[in-house]
Amino acid sequence: MAWNPYREAGLPHLTADQDGYANRYGLTKGVVRAVYPDVRRVDVEPEHGGLLRKVLVIGDVLPEEHVDTDNPQHVLVGFIGGNMHDAVCWPLLWRRTFGTETTDDGKERHFYPKNQQIVRVKDLTVRITSDNRIYLVDAESDDYIEYDMNTRTVHTIAPHVFMGTNEATRYEYHRDTEVRIVIPKCLIGQTAVESADGMSYLAQQLIHLMSMLQVKATAGAEVELNAPLIELNAGSVVLNTTNSRFGGASAAEQLLLGNQWMTFYNTFITLFNAHTHTSVQNGPGTSGPPGAPAAAMDGSLLSDVARVSKAG
């Protein structure tokens, strides 16, 4: 019977080697010299020499080509029924990590004694530590996703994080740049009733903030509200500012201080109504100045805080 290394499952086994020329028993270790991803097979150079062609890989990790020190790719080779035509191999993934004989570089993913289970493929590691921490991803870039069962906490350490969907609702985190929430509707509060408690958001419709105590917006430089209409409904509105401008940032006309202006104006009217003239002469001519001249208005009657312009 001709040798066919790709026999389909269920076909008869190869004819036994009566003379023992093709029988191989036991296991041997080797390194990967070529990879064939389309058939999930590799060429293996056993440690005792020679070359085994297209050995079937068992397991869910396909090894890479071996490079001494830089990319170690070791496999354990066995032969089904002792037949060298049926060679299979298992990747020895732990040989990509260090043992206690190597100086600790401070990275757990590099040392198999620090992990209960560890799989390293290229620059990625999946591992479970002995103290119940699960690293779903632990990359050589120092990004990782970790679940700590002791604290029941998930850590996601990466410069860019997306949660949700790519097309609609999602949360985006971009380190040192922005945090973005793309949502059609969000209700935050103890009762989460739209427009009634806490914070409500409807896309293109509503932002509603409500608190029984206090709502604050604090910024180091600027808080800006842009809308055709901004309406404030409150029993009391306090603007605690040292520079208010109505009509634009260039508004320069100071507002009158109403109560002080009223006092000034009433004093003037009283004086005007009761004033008399001195040096009055009969006939044509002019009279002298009033006996009690009115004082001129000064800046004390103008607001130092609020300014307005005639036109926006």
Assess contact for 169 and 184: CB atoms under 8 A.
Answer: yes
The answer to whether residue 147 sits within a structural domain is yes
The answer to whether residue 225 sits within a structural domain is no
pTM: 0.56
As a whole number of angstroms, the distance between CA 244 and CA 231 comes to 18
Nearest CA to 31 among 47, 19, 15? 47
As a whole number of angstroms, the distance between CA 235 and CA 116 comes to 64
What phi and psi, each to the nearest 5 degrees, are found at residue 96? -85, -5
Q: What is the pLDDT of residue 299?
A: 78
What phi and psi, each to the nearest 5 degrees, are found at residue 57? -90, 125
44, pLDDT greater than 60: yes
Residues 152 and 166 in one domain: no
Assess contact for 276 and 290: CB atoms under 8 A.
Answer: yes
As a whole number of angstroms, the distance between CA 92 and CA 279 comes to 121
As a whole number of angstroms, the distance between CA 110 and CA 128 comes to 13
Summarised one tens digit per residue, pLDDT across range 124-151 is 999 999 999 999 999 999 999 999 999 9
Range 301-310 average pLDDT: 77
Is the CA virtual torsion 297, 299, 305, 308 positive or negative?
Answer: positive
Domain total in the chain: 4
Q: Which CATH number is 78's domain given?
A: 2.40.50.140
Assess contact for 291 and 276: CB atoms under 8 A.
Answer: yes
Residue, of 9 and 232, whose pLDDT is higher: 232
- Name the band, by pLDDT with cuts 50, 70 and 90, for residue 14: low
The answer to whether residue 114 sits within a structural domain is yes
Range 12-29 average pLDDT: 69
Residue, of 123 and 307, whose pLDDT is higher: 123
Host domain of residue 87? 28-95
What phi and psi, each to the nearest 5 degrees, are found at residue 45? -100, 105
The answer to whether residue 13 sits within a structural domain is no
Range 229-250 average pLDDT: 83
Residues 167 and 140 in one domain: no
- Name the band, by pLDDT with cuts 50, 70 and 90, for residue 16: low
Q: What is the pLDDT of residue 1?
A: 45
Summarised one tens digit per residue, pLDDT across range 68-104 is 888 889 999 999 888 878 899 999 987 788 888 989 9
The answer to whether residue 16 sits within a structural domain is no
